[in-house]
Amino acid sequence: MRNVYLDNNATTQVAPEVVEAMMPFLTEFWGNPSSMHWFGGQVARHVEEARARVAALFNVSPSEIVFTGCGTESDNAAIRGAADALGPQARIVTTRVEHPAVLAPCRRLKEMGYAVTELGVDASGQLDLAALRKELRNGPCVVSVMWANNETGVVFPMEEIAAMVKRAGGLLHTDAVQAAGKLPLDLSTIPVDMLSFSGHKLHAPKGVGGLFIRRQTKWTPWLLGGHQENGRRAGTENVPYIVALGVACEQARLHMAEDARRMAALRDKLEQGLLASCPDARVNGDPVHRLPNTSNISFQYIEGEAILYHLSDMGVAASSGSACTSGSLEPSHVIRAMGVPFTAAHGSIRFSLSRYTTDEDIGHVLKNMPPIVEKLRALSPFVG
């Protein structure tokens, strides 16, 4: 049986060149980069080389990159650090379709007494910019808005959002975990203050991420202890994974345009084939402003979990939304925020591709999906 992996927004295959680059730092160059002696010093140089590679992906200074353990840590550090720096009078503005790594810390701040606003989206998953503009009139605030949605692939107009926030004197954080490596994110022209990203979404290992913090941004370190990362994130540096992240970011920068073109073509083939062969199916999200690798499709009158089980039996790995909320029988908070009808919301499936996805992979899904939908529809209490 053919195995097809279409859950790349949950995690990606580690690229072979990334594995090769990190191995010497597990076996030969295992010194602590914070040590003063030569053995640690030679490792520290490689950490800084990786920092420069990461910075090049975003066109920023290496000194503005902080290595973290994952995207979730980066999101929490950005939001809590900004709130701490501005004090309890700070207002927090975010959206209803954010990843739980943003929504959870924002809601915790609300419990602590901070004023927190969650903005809505329209039926295509796009942010209500008028509501954001209105909220910004109430004075400076910390705004956390994702660059691209992890479930639908919808891309927010970050250049316009950043300009609005800056005019209002606000502080802007963006969760770019899904966008980094798939879209050109030039922070030399887009005035984002903080940006979170994660290694395992762009072919590096799990366990490493990063946070861009623009110079002179009001922010308080969240993880305290040692002097690492110029005092911005305490803890011994995870050198093999930092080196891996540097190589992964360099590969993404060099091959982004080609990878995006290939993935978008395969995504479109998948969507067109499924819409043609599966009645009562719909694509969720903005059809134009979206990631090249992501497709969220609702199959009405059937449960998404049942679809996923049957797909898994056919060797296909997909998901019903964020891996962080898997196991829940409730429709995704993103799909609910978009107002997707109840009969379709429960049957929403996310297919997410990578540079390693092939035409044969898509053909395998197109062959096996229609019989699965037909079988489950025949058992559905909502049909006929």
pLDDT digits (tens, 9 = 90+) for 331-357: 789 999 999 998 899 999 999 999 999
Q: How confident is the model at residue 323 (pLDDT cuts 50, 70, 90)?
A: very low
Fold of 4-12+255-379: Aspartate Aminotransferase, domain 1 (3.90.1150)
Does 221 or 329 have the greater pLDDT score?
A: 221
pLDDT, residue 325, reads 47
Q: What is the pLDDT of residue 383?
A: 64
The torsion angles phi and psi of 40, rounded to 5 degrees, stand at: -75, -35
Share of the chain above pLDDT 90, in %: 85
Same fold for the pair 4-12+255-379 and 16-252: no
- The one-letter amino acid code at 72 reads T
Nearest to 178 by CA among 212, 157, 154: 154
Tokens linked to 376: 């489950």
Overall fold of domain 16-252: Aspartate Aminotransferase; domain 2 (3.40.640)
Predicted local confidence at residue 379, as pLDDT? 80
pTM, to two decimals: 0.95
Residue type at 154 in one-letter notation: V
**Contact by Cβ (8 Å): 62, 50:** no
Cα–Cα distance, 34 to 21 (Å, whole number): 21
Q: Where are the domains of the chain?
A: 4-12+255-379, 16-252
User: CA–CA separation, 13 vs 201, rounded Å?
Assistant: 9
Pick from 110, 143, 141, 139: which is nearest to 129 by CA? 143
Cα-based distances in Å from 84 to 1, 99, 155, 168, 171: 53, 21, 29, 20, 13
Q: Kindly report the three-state secondary structure assignment for every residue of the chain.
A: CCCEECECCCCCCCCHHHHHHHCHHHHCCCCCCCCCCHHHHHHHHHHHHHHHHHHHHHCCCHHHEEEECCHHHHHHHHHHHHHHHHCCCCEEEEECCCCHHHHHHHHHHHHCCCEEEEECECCCCCECHHHHHHHHCCCCCEEECCCECCCCCEECCHHHHHHHHHHCCCEEEEECCCCECCECCCCCCCCCCEEEEEHHHCCCCCCCEEEEECCCCCCCCCCCCCCCHHHCCCCCCCHHHHHHHHHHHHHHHHHHHHHHHHHHHHHHHHHHHHHHHCCCEEECCCCCCECCCEEEEEECCCCHHHHHHHHHHCCEECECCCHHHCCCCCCCHHHHHCCCCHHHHCCEEEEECCCCCCHHHHHHHHHHHHHHHHHHHHHCCCCC
The structure tokens listed for 17 are 């060149």
Band of the pLDDT at 222, cuts 50, 70, 90? Answer: confident
pLDDT (average), residues 149-167: 97
| Per-residue confidence (pLDDT) for residue 381, from 0 to 100 | 66
Confidence of residue 226 (pLDDT cuts 50, 70, 90): confident
The pLDDT value recorded for residue 32 is: 82
Give the torsion through C-alpha atoms of 215, 221, 225, 228, to 10 deg: -30
Catalytically annotated residues: 324
Is the pLDDT assigned to residue 38 strictly greater than 80?
Answer: no
Question: Is the Cβ–Cβ distance between 144 and 79 less than 8 Å?
Answer: yes
| Cα-only R_g, the chain | 21
Range in 162-171, 287-296, 321-330 with the lowest mean pLDDT:
321-330
**Each residue's pLDDT tens digit, 130-153:** 999 999 998 889 999 999 999 999
Structure confidence at residue 320 (pLDDT): 86
Residue 328 has pLDDT above 60, yes or no: no
